[in-house]
Amino acid sequence: MGVPIDKIRQRRRFKRSWEEPLVGDTWQYQLRIYLPDELVETARSHPTHTELGQLSHLLQKHSATMKCQFDAFAEYVAEAEREGTAQYPLYEWTKATIEDPVKKRKHLQSFSLHVNGREVYSRDEADALEADLQPLVGGGVITRISKHDTNPEHNPQMPERYRKQRAGGDRRNQ
């Protein structure tokens, strides 16, 4: 199912307002789009480039921006190394992910969509954005779309080997 929302949620040391479900809505959502290799660098460095066609127009219509998942993970690792890894529960797992060549390629192609600066948002917002983006799938810009929710049962948990490292008192770079 891609990168778990829990992984995104735990990226930061502080509590985020979106950790609680919206009133009247059980879960919040995030869309991810997957781009072909030939568009990844353009999308990472120039997300409004004409090479991306209608994508930038549709994102603007929904007050949405895109963030490369690999870049988000690399920023998390860099922040953890700068601030001390003890406050970053997903440091070891995330670092292993970005250092694995197969996972790196996968996450370079994946872009999370943020709406009005929010990493997760209402089902209505996610559904409307997805409906507008769906015609772009298979047309050379978007290879697929996935929708993720904040329900922990739908998101993979940290592998046991990384939980043991944290519990064992890994205090490197504090």
pLDDT of residue 167: 58
Q: pTM to 2 decimals?
A: 0.80
d(CA 65, CA 9): 18
CA atoms within 13 A on the CB side of 123: 10
Percent of the chain past pLDDT 70, that is, above it, reads 79
Please state the domain extents for the chain: 27-167
* Of residues 174 and 37, more confidently modeled: 37
